Amino acid sequence: MSELLRLDHVRAGYGEAVVLNDISLSINAGETLALLGRNGTGKTTLINTLAGATRQHAGRIALSGVALHALKAHERAAAGIGWVPQERNIFKSLTVLENLSAVARAGHWTPERVFEMFPRLAERKSNMGTQLSGGEQQMLAMGRALVLNPKLLLLDEPLEGLAPIIVEELLAAIARITRNEGMSAIIVEQHPQAILKISHTAVVLDHGEVVYSGKADELLANPALLDSLLGVAR
């Protein structure tokens, strides 16, 4: 498989505050990377750095050979980054269909395909963003990222605070998008077992540094190591 994303010695944070220290990692096309770590270890900062929402102090980021670190946030979206932040950032004053149509780019993923994957959204396509539940807003946020037809999907805690039935629905959708349809993704999640099952590789951060990098299934099969890294395996 060809390399899609590479970070070399990246230092980044907010203003003068450095959160990420010397981060180097890579992901191949068609692969999913589980980005794990305790709270406050830099996971969201890394996602935000890829999306162009932090200050990068050093290092290089390349997406399909394009110098991503040299681009502004909106240029990174055009280069192939699809970002679903924790805040979801849907247009609450627009309908579900308008949210999707407003950002859609030509390609495999269309509003119709999003509705096929998320029937709940199809039923509410005329509803405003303010009329959706938290789970439906998350589905819409994912749909908005998909209709950009990105090369790389960034999901920052997509299951946080959602009912178990919605979590199952979203996990199935993420598995379909990545495993079945070959979308590359980086997923930050506080429920490592669920994400490791559908990921190819895993990276664990601690104090803004990479403390583990390897195959997701090997980490999942080693509860003692997972527990020592995250304290959540039991």
Mean pLDDT by 10 residues, the chain (234 residues): 94 97 96 95 96 96 95 94 93 95 94 96 95 95 96 95 92 92 93 92 96 97 94 53
pLDDT at 114: 97
Q: Taking the mean position of all CA atoms in its chain, how far away is CA 90?
A: 16
Residue corresponding to tokens 């290089």: 60
pLDDT at 191: 83
pLDDT at 169: 93
Sign of CA dihedral 230, 191, 47, 197: positive
Q: What is the pTM of this model?
A: 0.94
42: helix, coil or strand? coil
Look at strands 55-63 and 66-67 and give their pairing.
Answer: antiparallel
Cβ-in-10-Å burial (0-12, 13-18, 19+) of 159 comes to buried
pLDDT at 190: 83
> How far lies 169's CA from each of 17, 138, 179, in Å?
38, 11, 15
Residue type, 104: A
Residue type, 194: A
pLDDT at 233: 44
